């Protein structure tokens, strides 16, 4: 699969609502299984909405704007522009932030398929 490099502009990228509850959160998928066989990439905005999740993949998050918060159990990690956090597979967490924009990279990108295959093999 040969592909050309793709530029994503944050000002023209379409975001969709993410999570539920007070505050705001939105996410934009940049790279998914249709574009890559190995990694996924997203932009996400968080402003006062906590979004609980269990990652089923390794994840890297880079804070671009604002203050991004990641809660893992009782530990609260706060990232500022330029800070990066690595999150190992199967971590239970909650994403949050104050006027934050983050870049998220995940691997493997086909984690949903792998999870389904693992479930059928049990």
Q: How far apart are CA 40 and CA 32, in angstroms?
A: 5
Instruction: Give the global pTM.
Output: 0.90
Tokens 């990690």 label which residue?
77
How much is the mean pLDDT over the chain? 94
What is the third-level CATH fold of 16-120? Jelly Rolls (2.60.120)
Answer whether 53's CB lies under 8 Å from 106's CB. Answer: no
Report the half-sphere exposure of 85 (CA within 13 A, side-chain side): 20
Length of the chain: 122
Q: How far apart are CA 68 and CA 90, in angstroms?
A: 20
Domain coordinates in residue numbering, the chain = 16-120
Return the pLDDT at 6. Answer: 94
For the stretch 69-82, pLDDT in tens is 999 999 999 999 99
User: To 5 degrees, how large is the angle CA 118–CA 51–CA 74?
Assistant: 90
Tokens 């239970």 label which residue?
92
Return the pLDDT at 113. Answer: 81
Answer whether residue 40 shows pLDDT above 70: yes
For the stretch 6-34, pLDDT in tens is 999 989 999 999 999 999 999 999 999 99
pLDDT tier for residue 119 given thresholds of 50, 70 and 90: low
């Amino acid at each position: 699969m040969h592909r050309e490099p793709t530029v994503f502009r944050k000002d023209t990228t379409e975001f969709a609502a993410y999570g539920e509850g007070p505050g705001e959160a939105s996410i934009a998928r940049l790279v998914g299984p249709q574009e890559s066989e190995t990694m996924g990439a997203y932009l996400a905005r968080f402003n006062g909405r906590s979004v609980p999740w269990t990652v089923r993949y390794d994840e890297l998050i880079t804070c671009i704007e604002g203050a991004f918060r990641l809660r893992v159990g009782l530990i609260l990690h706060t990232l500022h522009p330029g800070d990066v956090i690595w999150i190992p597979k199967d971590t239970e967490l909650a994403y949050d932030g104050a006027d934050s924009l983050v870049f998220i990279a995940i691997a493997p990108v086909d984690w949903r398929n792998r999870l389904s295959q693992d479930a059928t093999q049990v």
